[in-house]
Amino acid sequence: MKKALLISVGGSPTPVIYSINAQKPEYLFFFVSRSSAASAREQILPALTHKPSVYEFIMTSDEQDIEKSVAVLLAEVPAKLEMWGLTFADLVADYTGGTKTMSAAVVLSLSRDIDSFSYVGGTERDKSGLGVVIDGREQILNLKNPWNELAIQSLNDIQILFNSCRYTSAAEMAETARDKTPARRQLFEGLRLLATALNLWDNFQYDRAFSELKRCDSLLRTLAAETDKQPIKLLCKDVAVCLPLLEKICHEQNILVKSSPGNPKNEAADGMSIIRDLTANAIRRGEIEHKYDDAVARLYSAIEKMAKMRLKSAYAIDNSDIKPEQIPESIRDEIVAECTNEREGKIQIPLHKSYHLLEKLADPLGIAYAAAANELGKVLTIRNMSLLAHGYEPVKQETYSKMLSIALGFIGDKRCDVSSFPKLSFENRTL
């Protein structure tokens, strides 16, 4: 494995020389100020017994300004590593030399990317042990990156992504943190499993989501039993609440959607768990991601499926293949004439006709639809003009809010009754 060393340089060349000779890097970065650059050239390089293959200077314009020092490191280190065909995994940073500001800049700028730092300490110092290390008494201290061990930034970043419904990115970041942070491996694996499960759930892959969520639940239960940290215990409880809800959705999907072998007992289901999940999904799109076109498309699907599932569960009517005798005489000729698919030889009715049929069957859902038809018609007209339907106009927040209100009215729920996914609320000082 190639080895690169970045070392800050100040007024004392001895510890810098000692560190380079001891660590024997093939590639070397000198982090210098204008004044210490001369020391590196005139005192350090000639005194090295180990000569690196390549060395470069990175110079701060102000060794007392941490912002400028961090900025130059952030800009130049990645570029030089790429130029040499290296990665941060090949790099160690030594912050012994330079001003205190330069040392702080080295740690601050590289703490998220490298695995270890080094520092030249010693067995004996001048000034009664309070001064600099006495020449000849130097000792290299190889230090694990505490940022990796605590994974504070990783937790922060995962939490932001997770709570923004960016579950794929959160899972990828959790996996990286898991592999870099042995002390918190279980926690990050639990977060990876949870983000993966919710991403599958968010994309309606219910069976796979349930499998991943069960694995997550098992791991988090173990973790919660071994810690006194309340955020972990609360997260475990939130996941436990989600499991039976998702299990019910999976069961309902097996009954209503999948083939008869999945429903050997011919069980009945009204589909409302799936409808409520579609509504919750729409709320995440609208109120977390502010994607109103996506939210309205899901609400439209929920309203449409309410009619489809009510017809199927209450009247054994499949609105994609209705038999003429299932249609009340008062509207039979109309529906047969308007909704027969000649190519397939089936009577297939759309959303409005499905609710009209329910109304004629004296079903409460059909009656409720008829009462809301004017307002819903206006909203659906706007929806039909959106980019995700037949037009080019983006859906506005007001349209989403109106359609949500109508959908909740049909379901018979209040906004506060709609289930939500778990949120992360880690306070890093308590973890």
60-118 per-position pLDDT tens digit: 999 999 999 999 999 999 999 999 999 999 999 999 989 999 999 999 999 888 888 88
Q: What is the pLDDT of residue 149?
A: 60
Does position 54 have pLDDT exceeding 70, yes or no? yes
φ/ψ (deg, to 5) at 58: -120, 120
pLDDT band (50, 70, 90) for residue 123: very low
Q: What is the pLDDT of residue 428?
A: 54
164-183 per-position pLDDT tens digit: 999 999 999 999 888 888 87
Does position 32 have pLDDT exceeding 70, yes or no? yes
Q: What is the pLDDT of residue 127?
A: 42
pLDDT band (50, 70, 90) for residue 413: confident
Q: What is the pLDDT of residue 333?
A: 92
DSSP bridge pairs for 143: 117
pLDDT average, residue stretch 256-276: 66
Output the average pLDDT for the chain: 87
Full DSSP string of 395-416: PPHHHHHHHHHHHHHHHT--GG
pLDDT band (50, 70, 90) for residue 124: very low
pTM of model > 0.95: no
Q: Cβ(249)–Cβ(274) under 8 Å?
A: yes
Q: What is the pLDDT of residue 383?
A: 76
Greatest Cα pair distance in the chain: 105
Structure tokens at 298: 């899901």
User: Which CATH number, 3.50.50.60, 3.40.50.10770, 3.30.1600.10, 3.90.1530.10, labels domain 4-149?
Assistant: 3.40.50.10770
Nearest to 201 by CA among 277, 143, 258: 277
Q: What is the pLDDT of residue 342?
A: 86
Cβ neighbours around 102 below 10 Å, total: 26
At what angle are helices 292-315 and 351-360 packed, to 10 degrees?
40
Q: Cβ(194)–Cβ(216) under 8 Å?
A: yes
DSSP bridge pairs for 80: none
For the chain, domain boundaries: 4-149, 152-253, 270-417
